[in-house]
Structure 1
Amino acid sequence: MQQDRQKSLGTESIPKLLLKFSVPAIVGMMVNALYNIVDRMYIGHIKDVGQYAITGVGITMPIMTIIMAFGMLVGIGTSASISIRLGQKKRDEAENILGNAFTLLLILSVTITVFGIIFGNSILDLFGASENTVQYAKEYINIIFFGTIFNMMSFGLNHSIRAEGNPKIAMYSMLIGAIMNTVLDPIFIFTFNLGVKGAAIATVLSQVATAIWVLKYFTSKNSVLKLKVANMKLNKKLVLSIFAIGVSPFSMQLAASVVQVISNTALRTHGGDLAIGAMTAISSIAMIFLMPIFGINQGCQPIIGFNYGAKQYKRVVDTVKYAVMAATSIVVVGFLVVQFFPDAVIGLFNNDEELLSIGRVGIRIYLAMLPVIGFQIISANYFQSIGKAKISMLLSLLRQVILLIPLLLILPNILGLTGVWLSGPIADGLSSIITAILFYKEVRLLHLSHEESFREGLNNA
């Protein structure tokens, strides 16, 4: 069966393969994004205070990103290590890694919870909370801190379900949490009249349900690997191997949290509290259109990697071509929606006239380069798929960190709030140009390699 799957990667039509591999990944990414998006939608419509409540939640975004970073550090590092051990037929070692991951997640989540409860208020002040918004930020994040252990257990261990060859179960895990959160949000926020606290409670309860589902899976007969107490004692060598692999996505997430803090500070300085609320809505809308592209990335990665290794370079180029076409179609639709219907999409999160006025201008400028982002993200992933991880990381960091941070520090001081909005499209545009140059050179090398392989085939014949 495994040989048939591998054979199909080298023979089946590229569009069919992309659909087969990308659709489950897209569903998974979209479901994962729904957690935060649904919270923000309901919070933004709390009567009389929604505009400040959504801003308060926006202030907490860097903290949420940091929590996710630690989940990725252990989760992605563990899943990659488990995949390698299973490939080597070392099931006992894989189970040992799983047990160590459980203990690491437990220690890190308790540490984050204690640290957050003690220093949470100071962190919120540092991250840009004001008199109008700090109350809502505190109400939300203090409850989220108490749920950190369930968040990290469900998110961190879910990667390992995928690693042992059960992507559907991993997808169901995320679906359970997202659906439960969507149902509970309006009940706790509006029916029980708990406001922002209700949104946080709904999120934590959903994470509890997901964590129970994941832990039950690893102690049931359905899992390949079993979670055993005997494997929970930390092994220095295994811990270091987990961290060595997970440190890259961990660093990316930490960098993203720094960008969010700098952005929030600039928004508050040059546009006031409601500018942060507007950006919270804008980033949520962007997420809706970018998550499917990350799903396409996950889908095309094994296809590109297999065919690159098999020296079927035409199939490699075709995979990238179709992936870019699909991604560009999605972001072009997103671009048209935000340019022609800005009030409608921002209104999903809040209908305050002042916030709408700020957001209407902001979304049109900040997402002005959406049509090229699909190409940039797919191309950066291409380099990772063929084993050139350093170039891939450079290109990813270019757009999200290397260009964006200096622009956020410089432009607002010259152009005010407009400078904050312009930072996004300028970073997107410049990173896309640099990506295009590197990608063009790589494709030329592929064409030369393809011609050489073809000539060798003729000579051998």
Structure 2
Amino acid sequence: MSIEVITLHSNIYEKHSVNKLILTFSLPAIASLLVETLTIVVDTSFAGHLGEDSEYALAALGLLSPVMTFFLALQTLFAMSTAIMISTQMGNDNPFRINNYFQTGVLMTLLISFGASVFTWIGMDEILVSLHASGAIYTQAKQYLSFILLSNVFSSIGYTMTSVIRAFGYPKMEMLLISFSVIVNIVANAILTFGMSLGIQGIALGTLISEFVCALIAIVFLLRKNLMFRIKKISVIDTLKMVYEMAKIGLAQTLIQLLGGISALVINEQLMQTGSSGYVATWNIANKIYMLMIMPIVGITQAVQTIISYFNGKGEESKKNLTVKRTILICFIYGVFSTMIVLFGGKYMLYLFTTDKEIFGKVMAIIKVIFLTFPLLGITYTIMTLLQVTGKELRAVSLGVIRQVITIIPLVIMLPYLFSAWDIAGIDAAFSIFFAVPVADLLTLLVAIFFIVSKKRLSS
């Protein structure tokens, strides 16, 4: 293999200060994730304007949220870890390893996404029944999911390619690419859903078209910049080593997403048992707003992954630690500011999803609960990122387990019984479920702080 396998442009990590690097990588990453999240939000928004079918469509998308989270979790496993390994090898100035990690990451992305879609298609009916989809909701959910299974493959490829584009030092291109794909999604949705009267099938087909466009343009960009991997024969042992190495890095985020899907499944189950499908519909809207607001935090922490990885590969501890401190400060300030915006102006955001005033009040009540600890989330995410890229992957994984398994799921199951038995503040059993979110966030932060303090003690 020659050094021309992948040609790198001038090293962005050495050209700028830590502050400039965080800004340069974070803004496009935030914009990309916001735009990417808008793909899901756009689907929900269009579903909320389907007239008499709106409540069924919103409930269908709400019940499908664990499946969508499952797909996203599998996409995260090798997308982010491939980008991290590329930036690490850039720090080591090793183009040979960059090519190998890139090739292996794309191969695993294809295998996992295709396998997940095939297995979901085979068991689609059983999955929908287990999610309590029935009648009109079942029909809407099946029509949507049928197209999303194909979309998942293109979405996975696009996610990996755009993450790699950022790792190579082109964060602005990543932002532009994903932004364009969402514009395609909105236009396609409008034409197919309302212009051609395809309903929820049009929404899903619009998403499929946008994901295909994103993946295609990303591949073309990498080819034109001579950054695309060249297919090389890699031994089975070396391939397995790289797969293991990348899986370890990506496992934390993937497990968090998977557990989030399980939590969503349990929440929907409890809402259906203690409330009704109406609760699932309002939770679906509140959760989409929560996702929109948390994306900048995820974007910043994902962006600094490559920066921390590079400095870690170079052995520059001072710059690595400075990156972590600045990230925590930025995330905390954003958390406070965004919470105030949602609490005082959130009702205006709801027009994206519905014009029903009764739903407005129900959604805002949920938002006031789940945003109680929102300003603290950035600290947890930053600590998790640091652990993830500095050889403490198991601790990063355990934070996800603590939040989703040890706290949220038991609370979601217990709180309805407690609030119902003791009649706490007149809150009904179904609504009490939402208090599990802030309690879990607080407990996870305390454990994360303990991990980082103990890590410093061991290294001193």
TM (normalized to structure 1)? 0.83
- 2:333 matched to which residue of 1? 329
Aligned partners of 2:173, 2:237: CA distance in 1, in Å?
Answer: 30
Of 389, 392, 405, the match for 2:393: 389
- 2:61 matched to which residue of 1? 57
Contact 1:174 / 1:210 at 8 angstroms: preserved in 2? yes
Contact 1:73 / 1:243 at 8 angstroms: preserved in 2? no
Aligned partners of 1:88, 1:326: CA distance in 2, in Å?
Answer: 29
Task: Tell me the CA shift for residue 206 of structure 1.
Answer: 0.5
Of 288, 292, 295, the match for 1:288: 292
Of 135, 139, 156, the match for 2:139: 135
Task: Tell me the CA shift for residue 238 of structure 1.
Answer: 1.1
* Pairing 1:310–2:316 present: yes
Task: Tell me the CA shift for residue 341 of structure 1.
Answer: 4.0
Indicate the SS of the match to 2:52: coil
Task: Tell me the CA shift for residue 146 of structure 1.
Answer: 2.7
Indicate the SS of the match to 1:334: helix
1:194-241 residue CA offsets vs partner (Å, 9 max, x unmatched)? 1211110100001111122133335x342223454x65x994641552
- 2:438 matched to which residue of 1? 425
Of 221, 227, 234, the match for 1:224: 227
1:317-337 residue CA offsets vs partner (Å, 9 max, x unmatched)? 654444333222322233223
Contact 1:51 / 1:352 at 8 angstroms: preserved in 2? no
* Pairing 1:412–2:416 present: yes
Q: Name the stretch that deviates more: 423-432 or 90-99.
A: 90-99
Q: Which runs of 5+ in 2 are unaligned?
A: 1-8, 420-428
The 5 A counterparts of 1:344-383 are: 344-383=348-387
- 2:260 matched to which residue of 1? 256
Aligned partners of 1:37, 1:65: CA distance in 2, in Å?
Answer: 14
Task: Tell me the CA shift for residue 183 of structure 1.
Answer: 2.2
Aligned partners of 1:330, 1:437: CA distance in 2, in Å?
Answer: 23
Indicate the SS of the match to 2:51: coil
> RMSD between aligned alpha carbons?
3.2
Distance 1:285 1:3, change over 3 A: closer
- 2:3 matched to which residue of 1? none
Q: Which amino acid aligns with 2:275?
A: G
Of 171, 176, 189, the match for 2:180: 176
- 2:14 matched to which residue of 1? 6
Distance 1:85 1:338, change over 3 A: closer
Task: Tell me the CA shift for residue 156 of structure 1.
Answer: 2.9
Q: Which amino acid aligns with 1:238?
A: T
Q: Which amino acid aligns with 1:167?
A: P
1:273-299 residue CA offsets vs partner (Å, 9 max, x unmatched)? 121111111111111211111222234
Contact 1:380 / 1:392 at 8 angstroms: preserved in 2? yes
Indicate the SS of the match to 1:133: helix
- 1:453 matched to which residue of 2? none
Aligned partners of 1:100, 1:377: CA distance in 2, in Å?
Answer: 27
- 1:452 matched to which residue of 2? none
The 5 A counterparts of 1:41-80 are: 41-80=45-84
- 1:28 matched to which residue of 2? 32
Task: Tell me the CA shift for residue 272 of structure 1.
Answer: 0.9
Aligned partners of 2:320, 2:84: CA distance in 1, in Å?
Answer: 23
Contact 2:219 / 2:228 at 8 angstroms: preserved in 1? no
Contact 1:181 / 1:206 at 8 angstroms: preserved in 2? yes
Aligned partners of 1:102, 1:439: CA distance in 2, in Å?
Answer: 32
- 2:272 matched to which residue of 1? 268
Task: Tell me the CA shift for residue 94 of structure 1.
Answer: 4.5
Q: Name the stretch that deviates more: 41-50 or 73-82.
A: 73-82
Contact 1:404 / 1:423 at 8 angstroms: preserved in 2? yes
Contact 2:143 / 2:201 at 8 angstroms: preserved in 1? yes
Aligned partners of 1:79, 1:15: CA distance in 2, in Å?
Answer: 21
Q: Name the stretch that deviates more: 261-270 or 207-216.
A: 207-216
Indicate the SS of the match to 1:147: helix
Q: Which runs of 5+ in 1 are unaligned?
A: 450-461
Q: Which amino acid aligns with 1:295?
A: G
Aligned partners of 1:288, 1:4: CA distance in 2, in Å?
Answer: 29
Q: Name the stretch that deviates more: 95-104 or 287-296.
A: 95-104
* Pairing 1:38–2:42 present: yes
- 2:424 matched to which residue of 1? none
- Aligned-pair identity in percent equals 26
Task: Tell me the CA shift for residue 123 of structure 1.
Answer: 0.6
Contact 1:256 / 1:401 at 8 angstroms: preserved in 2? no
The 5 A counterparts of 1:72-91 are: 72-83=76-87, 91=95
Task: Tell me the CA shift for residue 28 of structure 1.
Answer: 2.1
Q: Which amino acid aligns with 2:242?
A: S
Aligned partners of 1:62, 1:292: CA distance in 2, in Å?
Answer: 22
Distance 1:4 1:294, change over 3 A: closer
Aligned partners of 1:379, 1:103: CA distance in 2, in Å?
Answer: 30
Aligned partners of 1:385, 1:240: CA distance in 2, in Å?
Answer: 17
* Pairing 1:158–2:162 present: yes
Of 277, 281, 293, the match for 2:281: 277
